[in-house]
Amino acid sequence: MRNLLIEISYNGANYHGYQVQANAITITEVIQDTIEKILKKRENIVGCSRTDSKVHANSYYFNMKTESNIPCEKFITVINNALPDDIVILSCREVDMDFHARYNCIGKEYIYKIYNNPVRNPYLIDLALHHKKYIDVDALNKAAQVFVGTHDFTSFCSMGFKQGTSMIKTIEFIEVYRENDFINIKVKADAFLYNMVRIIVGTLLYVNDGKIKPEDLIHIIEAKDRTKAGKTAPPQGLYLNQVFFDT
């Protein structure tokens, strides 16, 4: 028996998120189906996180315990040859048998992509949020630093989130920067609440558009009230960018 840690990348536009759902095609289902075709056995895979419908991943990890003796390099090749074009395996390596992709995860980094141009780009419909009004990245990056540190992020969690989960998270850094017509908002934290990044992005866009003042952000955090923050930004601009493990 081996425990494989597998890194994948995917375009989530055609999927209802990572986690298996009834009557909806998901990343997990497609990967399990593909591996089953090759190994002739339905393997259980353990993902490092959930991603929502239409959300993408530059880097995502899952571990899989298997009796297959296919070498990692060959495993990458044969599975990639069978996967659809919008999902790809990037790496595969053996880890300790007690390694767990979710429980051993100590942090994640997300990037939210915004296409900042008065005219929409039809090729980016599923890959970035279109925002017409000019975004002042210097001002927005300065305002965003209020999120850095350990806070109760109740105001930045979708209502209906399951009870019993700690709302206190630590953001290590947040950066807003421009690449031509693209605005990237990069956030790294020990963990994230449901829709936390997307609500932070929506709130920052409210600041940019003059709907709220930069100095209001600290009061929104302190309010611990979802209704005080901005709208939840759409999913298509969100990318899981890096995953960090304690081993």
pLDDT digits (tens, 9 = 90+) for 13-67: 999 888 777 678 899 999 999 999 999 999 899 999 888 899 999 999 999 999 9
Q: Give the confidence band of 228 by pLDDT, cuts at 50, 70, 90.
A: very high
- Do 85 and 144 lie in one domain? The reply is no
166-202 pLDDT tens trace? 899 999 999 999 999 999 999 999 999 999 999 999 9
The answer to whether residues 202 and 233 touch, using CB atoms and an 8 Å cutoff, is yes
Residue 244 pLDDT: 96
- Are 187 and 198 in contact, with CB atoms under 8 Å apart? no
Kindly report the pTM of this predicted structure. 0.94
Q: Of 44, 8, 3, which Cα lies nearest the Cα of 240? A: 8
Could you give the C-alpha distances from 190 to 13, 63, 106, 149, 243, in angstroms and in order?
A: 26, 20, 6, 10, 10
Is there a domain that residue 31 lies in?
yes
Highest mean pLDDT among 19-23, 114-118, 160-164: 114-118
Residues 119 and 237 in one domain: yes
Residue 2's pLDDT is 95
Mean pLDDT of all residues in 78-93:
96
The share of the chain scoring above pLDDT 90, in percent, equals 87
Residue 101 lies in a domain: no
| Span 75-84, pLDDT tens digits | 999 999 999 9
Domain that holds residue 203: 106-245
> What positions carry a catalytic annotation?
52
The domain total for the chain is: 2
Torsion angle of C-alpha atoms 160, 245, 179, 50, degrees rounded to 10: -30
**One domain for residues 119 and 195:** yes
Segment 211-215 mean pLDDT: 96
Q: What is the mean pLDDT of residues 157-163?
A: 72
Buried b (16+ CB within 10 A) or exposed e, 148-162: eeebebbbbbeeeee
* Residues 159 and 179 grouped into a single domain: yes
